[in-house]
Structure 1
């Protein structure tokens, strides 16, 4: 039996190295340079150390993994997410975490971490405000900070009964600061949700972990009967650890980097032409060493009978170059299509097909992020006594829809002739970007009533007996 609050699950420990690999590769060359092999590791001489330093400095890192991640984020957020909440929760749109980060930026960071590690966490915390009733905020935790968890059966359902989160605080130390590690326990007990903060005791924080603070947050409707924490995964939002969507690309990216280091090293050592002279006796050799030799078209070189001069030019190192090209192609096939521009002209249908295939993993991640934030906002509402329906939806239309005048005319004509409802027409116009996604049908109808011209209202009739043409 372990009473250590810092206990880490075995499957968590096993995944740490994979998470670190993907995050380092996405961060760039400065984080992966130490992953290059050390040449002649048994040689500790200053000369070999200098050679390895130069070997690393010459290597060129092409961050296909990071570009792929950024490209997928761009596809998901090229349209603003839609937030559906009552007025009491509208503050989340501009300040979701209590530190001024909008829910748009908040969810963008979450999707970024899910693409990297395949795992993230959202925790809803409640702050009791003096005289204002309190407000809820959404906090995020990286996969590395979710060290332990447990599930159990409650009323026939499998639910989280404990989650342990690792946190690092900055504590003032004069003009500087020192880092203090603590652990936040989220537990489900018989009377509801409870939060405990564990810190190490002792003058230098080297003692055993003990409970430092205990919170039993009471919202407007009382204590929650579940832990307000949700995992966000690449496959689903259950507690099991999902594989990183970018791990395979990251591993190939590292192999490409190692090949680049070998190639640049060979270019440095063998890339320049080496002049050579033959047919010299010792007297000629000593004279040339004493007086020096100029090489060039304007410096004729006098040689003895039978002497010869030439250049030794190495053959191209095609083996390493081919290995780099193969890995480059692998990264493209795995989704890193931003590495190089396609030289082949594709039809619109082919381009959409390629894009759909490469964004199928993204679609799953985006759906999980949307579901997790909807659930988190629901907990915010429970704390603050809001029972209205809430929703948060990140864009899943990765292929850009375009509308020409003929299409819009045909859609409006189909609506006028009773082909489909006005709500369906407006929903499609939102996809086309002709109506802002956050504008509801009720807002549009209200503005049309205020216009006073009767356009676009179902109870109005045009002079020819049909419905009006303004949706």
Structure 2
């Protein structure tokens, strides 16, 4: 493949895609894992090509039970991260991002959930800021890790800066009443200090030729001649640089698949050895032939006549606990890896203990949330620059208070007393009560203070008096 081929994929990207597919399949659940056949489950007697062995492997796959442990853990982590609504602080011109951040009706809150979802799965996502001329809006577009196929950095003015990003896009084109998927590539490049965007599509009327540039444009912020950087940022699990990070769910995925293989062995053993096997001993050939000819009925209402010294009994295999023990061991290990939704500790804990455990168990989640918050900060700054809003810094923050704080009555009393005595400002009091969830963190501090100062007085005994004036 030529190095000038726009479809070129970096070697580390190819290697990572194989790992990402496995993690994504595990997060999708049983249907995706089982539809992959024996990709995640070894074959029994693989050298035996007989129809009987094929049927045995089909049954082996069907009976296996896949537990959606990784998926449930990811959903639980997302729930912790978005327990509180993120806060968006933006100028009036950018308020549309609350309901339509990407130009397709996706709010910035929903988009942030999708980004964090992918960062937890494969530790990678991309945000690109473009400009929609028709709506006169800057939009934030997200790209999954698999579609960021190529990139390059260079040292400019003393810092490493992106000079090339190639994004693969799948476009739906009408085909009668249906549609067909068309692959195109978007090249983001920094050439001679100026940002240029090119779209590559296949040539020819039928789209069967090689890829060539179908459109090229040089975006520019309002009141500026050009961009001096590419408005694209990576979002990672460790940091937001171009390096591919390890997935936070990688270790849990491997144990989940091992648990699945143990489950297949266990269920196969239960089916093969779990049924009771009746047997008869002490028969001569005449009795054997007679019973085979007339058949045998087994049950409490069907007496079975046997010759002298004949006996009838049931044989049952001893419980095969090896596979079950392996499953239990992996389950316990998954709990240690953070799968708290599988087995919760019901022991009572103090607020201090709960806070300490939160720090260790959600540290990876905290880093991921910080990276997503930082990436959206950069993206919103680019949006503001596109719209010519200089000096205005929009912010988007996802809360890292993953566990609700317990507000002790003494603490609340102390805060309010300090406020009433003038020891702390109005804003300090509101922030303190917001951190304790006494006041909604999403409320504006100014609005809360205004409500406190201007609320109507409460008349003692109103509505409950005895009618005296």
TM-score w.r.t. the length of structure 1 is 0.91
Pick aligned residue for 1:352 from 327, 351, 355: 355
Pick aligned residue for 1:263 from 241, 266, 273: 266
Residue of structure 1 equivalent to 2:443: 439
Task: Check whether the contact 1:171–1:177 (CA below 8 A) recurs between aligned residues.
Answer: yes
Q: C-alpha distance in 2, partners of 1:64/1:392?
A: 31
Aligned residue for 1:187, secondary structure, equals: strand
Pick aligned residue for 2:320 from 314, 317, 320: 317
In the TM superposition, residue 442 of structure 1 has moved relative to its aligned partner by: 3.1
Residue of structure 1 equivalent to 2:417: 413
Q: C-alpha distance in 2, partners of 1:352/1:219?
A: 45
Pick aligned residue for 1:278 from 271, 276, 281: 281
Q: C-alpha distance in 1, partners of 2:111/2:439?
A: 24
* Residues 357 and 198 (structure 1), Cα distance of their counterparts in 2 relative to 1, 3 Å cut: same
Q: Deviations over 1:214-270 (max 9, x none)?
A: 122233233322111000000000111110000000000000000001100110011
Residue of structure 1 equivalent to 2:396: 392
Q: C-alpha distance in 2, partners of 1:88/1:419?
A: 38
Residue of structure 2 equivalent to 1:30: 31
Residue of structure 2 equivalent to 1:7: 8
Aligned residue for 1:335, secondary structure, equals: coil
In the TM superposition, residue 445 of structure 1 has moved relative to its aligned partner by: 4.3
Q: Does 1:75 align with 2:85?
A: no
Q: C-alpha distance in 1, partners of 2:193/2:450?
A: 46
In the TM superposition, residue 94 of structure 1 has moved relative to its aligned partner by: 0.7
Aligned residue for 1:242, secondary structure, equals: coil
Alignment of 1:67-466 (within 5 A): 67-129=72-134, 134-190=136-192, 192-222=194-224, 223-342=226-345, 344-387=347-390, 388-447=392-451
More displaced stretch, 318-327 vs 417-426 = 417-426
More displaced stretch, 223-232 vs 412-421 = 412-421
In the TM superposition, residue 288 of structure 1 has moved relative to its aligned partner by: 1.0
Residue of structure 1 equivalent to 2:466: none
In the TM superposition, residue 76 of structure 1 has moved relative to its aligned partner by: 0.4
TM-score w.r.t. the length of structure 2 is 0.92
Structure 2 segments unaligned to the other structure (5+ residues): 458-469
* Residues 341 and 405 (structure 1), Cα distance of their counterparts in 2 relative to 1, 3 Å cut: closer
Aligned residue for 2:399, secondary structure, equals: coil
Aligned residue for 1:225, secondary structure, equals: coil
Task: Check whether the contact 2:186–2:199 (CA below 8 A) recurs between aligned residues.
Answer: yes
More displaced stretch, 9-18 vs 349-358 = 349-358
Aligned residue for 1:254, secondary structure, equals: helix
Measured on the aligned residues, the alpha-carbon RMSD in Å equals 1.8
In the TM superposition, residue 117 of structure 1 has moved relative to its aligned partner by: 0.3
In the TM superposition, residue 379 of structure 1 has moved relative to its aligned partner by: 0.6
Structure 1 segments unaligned to the other structure (5+ residues): 454-471
